[in-house]
């Protein structure tokens, strides 16, 4: 682990915590996978095009390939063949001749223009063109999409559905991608019961947080390889910690992050040599979030309050998973400047991340800002970043916000 260690209970600022993740967390490694299995993963090397695309000039419409200089409105041209996508016309075309052509088919040698069939009148081997077929030439030049050797996708690019098209178009069968981080998720708390069962036990609540965290892990291109819920008993939690550290590159523990006697999230890793990178962050919600290292694995502690857990997962887990896959923390923290659709109350003494909803008029802070809220989470698609001490803002004020 490089970078400074913030042992003890020092509270550090948000930017300092993110900078620590950026400097101390590095990529796990790489693996070669077939293209069909690369979706959602992160490219580990730049991807260059093997050939020009299109390789030859091709028609952009169904119609006729012609020599423009030898083509006049109403004049007869002899149709000498056909060019299809996948089976081009072998010969050469001369002025006064035309080749029937289809979208994506190679332009015959000598031709320079494709005239859409909507402007053509065909009789046997003869075609005539009606007025109005210009001005477009409907030809895609060789290399007009990209040239051989062009950088199509840089290292660190996540293979989104759109990027998958570009990767396949580069004409490669396998891709070198970041190893998928293996993640363990442990929920802690005597009150937790599996969803669907908590009503059967007085004082139990449905364990909800790890479902959101696991979904985020999956969306970030990582794999949850171990999941457990532990009661607030240190020896049993230490055993879960051991199993999780054994199975995963990153262990996420939720709850038990606060200062109560039964808050065991950090103690359960102490026996395994936990070294803290940071112990608390001066943000609201989520102050008890912490990050450490034990047995060479990363350990992230999220507060148990469901909204706090999801906010801290968004702010710290996503940048952490980005670094483990060779991406930058900034790739996950792209702040946007957006207008408020409704007034926003003053921030307190801690930097806060207000849950908000976006519509055409702008951002509206949700009415329920309780860090324990669960019902409001589904509607909270943005976080508004409010510096400590920010005064109340009116409608139309511009704020810094992050998709949540």
**CB of residue 351 vs ligand MOO: minimum separation in angstroms?**
11
Which residue do the tokens 């077939």 mark? Answer: 34
Binding mask 353-372 for ligand LQZAQKY5 (x = CB under 6 A): ------------------xx
Q: Which two tokens stand for residue 61?
A: 């419409």
**CB of residue 258 vs ligand MOO: minimum separation in angstroms?**
8
Q: Is 219 helix (H, G, I), strand (E, B) or coil?
A: helix
Q: Are strands 336-339 and 398-403 parallel, antiparallel or unpaired?
A: antiparallel
Which residue do the tokens 């669907």 mark? Answer: 196
Residues 128/115, Cβ–Cβ less than 8 Å: no
The interface partner of residue 111, options being ligand MOO, ligand LQZAQKY5, none and the CB cut-off 5 to 8 Å by kind, is none
Sheet hosting strand 97-101, strand order edge to edge: 113-116, 63-66, 97-101, 77-83, 126-129, 120-123
The interface partner of residue 369, options being ligand MOO, ligand LQZAQKY5, none and the CB cut-off 5 to 8 Å by kind, is none
Peptide bond into 54 cis (omega under 30): yes
Query: In terms of CB distance, is 297 or 350 closer to ligand MOO?
Result: 350
Q: Which of residues 294-323 bind ligand LQZAQKY5 (CB under 6 A)?
A: 303-306, 308
> How many other CB atoms are found less than 10 A from the CB of residue 145?
15
Out of 208, 325, 352, 369, name the contact with ligand LQZAQKY5 by CB under 6 A: 208
Residues 133/141, Cβ–Cβ less than 8 Å: no
293 DSSP β-pair partners: 275, 298
Q: Which two tokens stand for residue 378?
A: 């589904």
Q: Which of residues 246-275 bind ligand LQZAQKY5 (CB under 6 A)?
A: 254-259, 263
**CB of residue 315 vs ligand MOO: minimum separation in angstroms?**
11
Query: In terms of CB distance, is 178 or 209 closer to ligand LQZAQKY5?
Result: 209
Q: Kindly list the distances between the CA atom of residue 344 and the CA atoms of 25, 325, 335, 385, in Å, as whole numbers in the listed order.
A: 35, 36, 18, 11
Where does 121-208 have alpha helices with state H?
Answer: 161-169
**CB of residue 374 vs ligand MOO: minimum separation in angstroms?**
13
The interface partner of residue 156, options being ligand LQZAQKY5, ligand MOO, none and the CB cut-off 5 to 8 Å by kind, is none
By CB under 6 A, is residue 240 in contact with ligand LQZAQKY5?
no
Distance CA(10)–CA(22), nearest Å, equals 19
Cβ neighbors of 318 (< 8 A, separation 6 or more) are 216, 220, 332
Q: What is the dihedral angle through the alpha carbons of 40, 43, 48, 53, rounded to the nearest 10 degrees?
A: 0
Which residue do the tokens 């950026």 mark? Answer: 22
Which residue do the tokens 């396998």 mark? Answer: 174
Binding mask 168-207 for ligand LQZAQKY5 (x = CB under 6 A): -------------------x-x-xx------------x-x
**CB of residue 189 vs ligand LQZAQKY5: minimum separation in angstroms?**
5
Out of 22, 181, 288, 362, name the contact with ligand LQZAQKY5 by CB under 6 A: 288
**CB of residue 295 vs ligand MOO: minimum separation in angstroms?**
28
Distance CA(285)–CA(133), nearest Å, equals 63
Query: In terms of CB distance, is 120 or 252 closer to ligand LQZAQKY5?
Result: 252
Residues near ligand MOO (CB under 6 A): 284-287, 303, 305, 308, 371
Query: In terms of CB distance, is 313 or 363 closer to ligand LQZAQKY5?
Result: 313
> How many other CB atoms are found less than 10 A from the CB of residue 136?
12
Distance CA(223)–CA(332), nearest Å, equals 18
**CB of residue 226 vs ligand LQZAQKY5: minimum separation in angstroms?**
15
Give the interface segment with ligand LQZAQKY5, choosing from 167-175, 280-288, 349-357, 384-392 (CB under 6 A): 280-288
Q: Would you tell me which residues interact with ligand LQZAQKY5 (CB under 6 A)?
A: 187, 189, 191-192, 205, 207-210, 254-259, 263, 285, 287-288, 303-306, 308, 371-372
């Amino acid at each position: 682990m490089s970078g400074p260690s913030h042992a003890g209970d020092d509270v550090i600022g948000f930017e300092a915590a993110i900078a620590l993740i950026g400097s101390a967390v590095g990529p796990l490694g790489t693996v070669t996978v077939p293209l069909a299995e690369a979706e959602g993963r992160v490219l580990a090397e730049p991807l260059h095009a093997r050939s020009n695309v299109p390789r030859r000039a091709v028609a952009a419409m169904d119609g006729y390939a012609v020599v423009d200089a030898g083509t006049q409105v109403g004049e007869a041209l002899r149709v000498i063949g056909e060019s299809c996508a996948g089976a081009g016309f072998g010969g050469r075309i001369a002025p006064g001749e035309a080749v029937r052509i289809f979208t994506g088919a190679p332009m015959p040698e000598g031709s320079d223009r494709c005239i859409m069939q909507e402007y053509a009148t065909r009789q046997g081997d003869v075609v005539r063109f009606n007025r109005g077929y210009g001005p477009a030439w409907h030809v895609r030049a060789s290399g007009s999409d990209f040239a051989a050797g062009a950088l199509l996708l840089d290292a660190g690019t996540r293979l989104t559905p759109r990027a998958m098209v570009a990767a396949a178009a580069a004409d490669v069968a396998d891709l070198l991608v970041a190893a998928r981080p293996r993640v363990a998720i442990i929920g802690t708390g005597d009150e937790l019961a599996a969803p669907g069962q908590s009503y059967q036990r007085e004082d139990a609540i449905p364990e909800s947080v790890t479902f959101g965290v696991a979904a985020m892990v999956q969306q970030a291109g990582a794999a949850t390889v171990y999941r457990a819920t532990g009661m607030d008993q240190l020896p049993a939690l230490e055993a879960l910690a051991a199993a999780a550290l054994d199975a995963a590159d990153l262990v996420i523990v939720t709850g038990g992050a606060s200062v109560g006697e039964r808050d065991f999230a950090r103690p359960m890793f102490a026996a395994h040599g936990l070294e803290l990178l940071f112990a608390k962050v001066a943000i609201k919600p989520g102050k008890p979030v912490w990050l450490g290292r034990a047995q060479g694995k990363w350990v992230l502690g999220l507060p148990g309050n469901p909204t706090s857990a999801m906010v801290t997962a968004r702010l710290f887990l996503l940048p952490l998973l980005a670094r483990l896959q060779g991406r930058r923390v900034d790739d996950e923290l792209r702040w946007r400047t957006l207008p408020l659709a409704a007034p926003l109350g003053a921030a307190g003494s801690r930097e806060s991340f207000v849950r908000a909803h976006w519509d055409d008029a702008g951002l509206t802070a949700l009415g329920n800002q309780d860090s324990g809220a669960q019902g409001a989470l589904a509607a909270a698609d943005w976080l508004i970043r409010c510096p400590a001490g920010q005064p109340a803002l009116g409608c139309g004020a511009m704020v810094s916000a992050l998709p949540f």
